[in-house]
């Protein structure tokens, strides 16, 4: 493998790990969802009220959690979220 190809592959590996890094709000939300798995569906507004983060902050963090596979978006109106098996089993590092 040439050095350029190896460097390119290393960049791709770094990008993947960066994408799965949780934001601070993401950590708070995922931790909350992990401790409340008995509740299957959540609206961003309800999560915001329970956690004390703005609805806008929750929505942004949920978008990333969905993209990274920790949560799933269900429906369109209203949008509700559920935690995936990946999200339930993920160990949150501080």
Length of the chain (residues) = 94
Q: What is the pLDDT of residue 17?
A: 45
Between CA 71 and CA 82 the distance in angstroms is 6
User: Could you tell me if 87 and 33 are in contact, meaning their C-beta atoms sit under 8 angstroms apart?
Assistant: yes
CA nearest neighbour of 29 among 92, 86, 79, 80? 92
Query: Residue ranges of the domains in the chain?
Result: 22-89
- Cβ contacts of 20 within 8 Å, gap of 6 or more: 68
Instruction: Output the pTM of the full model.
Output: 0.77
Name the β-bridge partners of 54: none
Domain spanning 22-89, CATH architecture: Orthogonal Bundle (1.10)
Percent of the chain with pLDDT over 90: 71
pLDDT value at 18 more than 70: no
């Amino acid at each position: 493998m040439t050095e350029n190809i190896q460097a390119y592959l290393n960049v791709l590996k770094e990008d993947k790990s960066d994408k799965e890094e949780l934001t601070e709000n993401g950590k708070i939300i995922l931790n909350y969802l992990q401790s409340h798995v008995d509740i299957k569906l959540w609206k961003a507004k309800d999560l915001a009220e329970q956690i004390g983060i703005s609805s806008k902050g929750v929505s942004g963090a949920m978008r990333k959690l969905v993209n990274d596979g920790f949560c799933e978006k269900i429906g369109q109106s209203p949008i509700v979220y559920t935690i995936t098996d990946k999200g339930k089993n993920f160990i949150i590092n501080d």
